[in-house]
Structure 1
Amino acid sequence: MKFLIAGLLSILLLLSQQANSATSTSIDKLPLADLPEYSKVYDDTRDPFQDARDALALAQQTNRQVLIEIGGNWCTWCHKVDNFLANNPDIYQTLHENYVLLKVNVSDSNENEAFMSGLPPVLGYPHMYISTAQGKMLLSKDTAELLSGDNYSRSNWLAFLDKWSLKQQNTSKQLSNNTQQSTEE
C-alpha cells in the first residue's frame, strides 16, 4: 500500500511539474476571494486527480503545503468545518496563507475510489491529509482531534495549522540539522 501511495504521489508530482513551467508567485498575489473551485466546494463531478495536480502546482508556485479535505455535501461535520472557518476569519486566513486547500468529494454518487485507494484510510468525515507541494504525504488527520466538546476549537485549529505549515516544517528541519551538526563536532 505504501508503494502504491508513493507511486501515485510521484506520478502526480511529475505531472504537476510538467504542467507548471510558470515562474513562482507569492501568496500575496492570490486574493483569498479568488480561491480555486476545488478549494471551495465538494463537487462529485470534479476529477480529483486533476485537482490534485493543480493544487500541487499552486502549492509549488506559492510555497505552501497542500491540505486535502475528504468529505461531501451530505456531511454535517463538513458543514461545521466550513461554518467554523467562516466565523473565524483569522483561522481561515492562516489556512489559506499556509496551505492550498483541496476538497475531495466522497459520496454515494461518486466515491472517487481510484483516488481514495492511494490514501491512508479515512477514519471519519471530514478527514484531512497534509502533503508537501512535492506530493509527499506528511499526515492523515481525524478532524475529531480539532474539537473541544461538541465544537471546533480555535486553539486546536491554530496549533494544527501552525505545526504542519511549511514554515514550521522548515524550522523543525533546521533545528534537527543544527542538533546533528553539534553532536558530530
Structure 2
Amino acid sequence: MKRIFILLAAVFISTAAFSQAKTEGVHIYNPDANALADLKAATEKAAKANKHVLVQVGGNWCSWCIAFHNLVETTPTLKQAIDDNYEFVLVNWDKDHHNDEAMKYLGFPNRFGYPVFVVLNGKGKVLHIENSAYLESEEIGENGKRKVGHDVKKTISFLKGWTVEAVNPETYKVKAK
C-alpha cells in the first residue's frame, strides 16, 4: 500500500511539474502592461479605423488562453476576421496582477473564467462579454471523447455577430424600391 501511495505521489508531482514547465516559457500576455492604458489606446485606434475592440482576458498560466491564441495564429480565416474587424488586446490576469481597474472598466468579465472575451465599441462601451465555454468544440474524437479546444466556426460566428456593421441598426433597414 505504501508503494502505491509513493508511486501515485511521484506521478502527481511529476505531472504538476510538467504542466508548469509547459506554460512557463509562454509569454503571450504581458503581466507588467498598463491594461487600462492599452484598452483606451485600442479604443481610440478602433474609433479611427471604424472597428470594435476585441479583448481577450487571461494569462500565461492558462492553457485554454494559450490554446486559443495558437488557434488564431494558425487559422488564417480566424486571424483575418479579427484583423479586419477589431483592434485586438490581451489583458493579463494572474494571481499577482489582477488589473482591477481594467476589470472594472470591462464589466468584471473574469467572473466567467478564462479566457473571456469582451467587445468594446469605439467609445469604450462594453457591447458584449463572451464566456469562452460557448466557443468550445463539441467534436468527438476517435477515442470517443470530446476534443479539447475552441471551435473555429463558433468563434467566427461570434466575431461576425459583433462587428461594427453587425450592430449598426442602419444595416437592417429596409431599402426603398
The answer, yes or no, to whether TM exceeds 0.5 is yes
Aligned amino acid, residue 142 of structure 1: N
**2:160 match:** 162
Q: 1:41 deviation in Å? A: 3.4
Question: Where in structure 1 are there 5+ consecutive unaligned residues?
Answer: 1-39, 180-185
**2:134 match:** 145
Label 1:168 to 1:124 Cα distance change in 2 as closer, same or farther (>3 A).
same
1:128-148 alpha-carbon deviations (Å, 9 max, x no partner): 111101111110111111112
Q: Work out whether residues 109 and 118 of structure 2, in 8 Å CA contact, stay in contact via their aligned partners in 1.
A: no
More helix by share: 1
Aligned amino acid, residue 75 of structure 2: N
Q: 1:175 deviation in Å? A: 5.3
Q: 1:178 deviation in Å? A: 4.6
Cα distance in 1, alignment partners of residues 120 and 86 from structure 2:
9
Give SS of 1:166's match. coil
Aligned amino acid, residue 92 of structure 2: N
1:78-125 alpha-carbon deviations (Å, 9 max, x no partner): 111011112211110111110101111001221112221332342110
TM-score (norm 1): 0.69
Cα distance in 2, alignment partners of residues 166 and 106 from structure 1:
27
**1:78 match:** 65
Q: 1:59 deviation in Å? A: 0.2
Number of residue equivalences: 139
**1:124 match:** 113
Cα distance in 2, alignment partners of residues 146 and 75 from structure 1:
16
The alignment-based identity, stated in percent, is: 27
Q: Work out whether residues 69 and 128 of structure 1, in 8 Å CA contact, stay in contact via their aligned partners in 2.
A: yes
Cα distance in 1, alignment partners of residues 117 and 63 from structure 2:
15
Cα distance in 2, alignment partners of residues 121 and 137 from structure 1:
10
Q: Work out whether residues 72 and 106 of structure 1, in 8 Å CA contact, stay in contact via their aligned partners in 2.
A: yes
Q: Work out whether residues 51 and 102 of structure 1, in 8 Å CA contact, stay in contact via their aligned partners in 2.
A: yes
Alpha-carbon RMSD across the aligned residues, in angstroms, is 2.0
Cα distance in 1, alignment partners of residues 43 and 151 from structure 2:
28
Q: 1:177 deviation in Å? A: 5.0
**1:110 match:** 97
Label 1:140 to 1:107 Cα distance change in 2 as closer, same or farther (>3 A).
same
Cα distance in 2, alignment partners of residues 121 and 155 from structure 1:
23
Question: Where in structure 2 are there 5+ consecutive unaligned residues?
Answer: 1-26, 139-147
Label 1:120 to 1:110 Cα distance change in 2 as closer, same or farther (>3 A).
closer
